[in-house]
Amino acid sequence: MTPLRLKPNYISPIWSGDRIARARGIVYDKGTPPGESFDVTAHRDLVNTVEGGPYDGIRLDELIDTHHEELLGQGLPDDDGIIQVVTMDARESLSVQVHPDEAYAQAHENDHEKTESWYILAADPGATLIAGSTTNDRDALRAAAADDTVGNLFGRHVSVSEGDFILIPAGTMHALGAGIFAVEIGSLGFKTYRICDWGRGRELHVKQGFDLIDTSLRPEPRHLGAFDPNGPDQVQLGVTHELFEAEVVDVHGEFAGELLDRYQILTCVWGDAQVSTPEGGTTDLKFTESLLIPASAGSYTVRGTCRVIRSYRP
The residues carrying an active-site annotation are 194
CB 265 within 8 A of CB 311: yes
- Number of residues that make up the chain: 314
The answer on whether 116 is annotated among ligand-binding residues is: yes
The answer on whether 242 is annotated among ligand-binding residues is: no
The pair phi, psi for residue 299, each rounded to 5°, is: -160, 175
CB 81 within 8 A of CB 188: yes
DSSP 75-136: T--TT----EEEEEEESSPPPEEE---HHHHHHHHS-----EEEEEEEE-TT-EEEEEES--
Beta-ladder partners of 84: 186
The answer on whether 99 is annotated among ligand-binding residues is: yes
The pair phi, psi for residue 25, each rounded to 5°, is: 65, 35
State whether residue 146 is helix, strand or coil. Answer: helix
Amino acid at 3: P
DSSP 209-229: HHHH--TT-----EE-----T
Task: Determine which helix (DSSP H) or strand (DSSP E) holds 144, and give its type and residue range.
Answer: helix 138-146
Binding residues for Zn(2+): 99, 116, 174
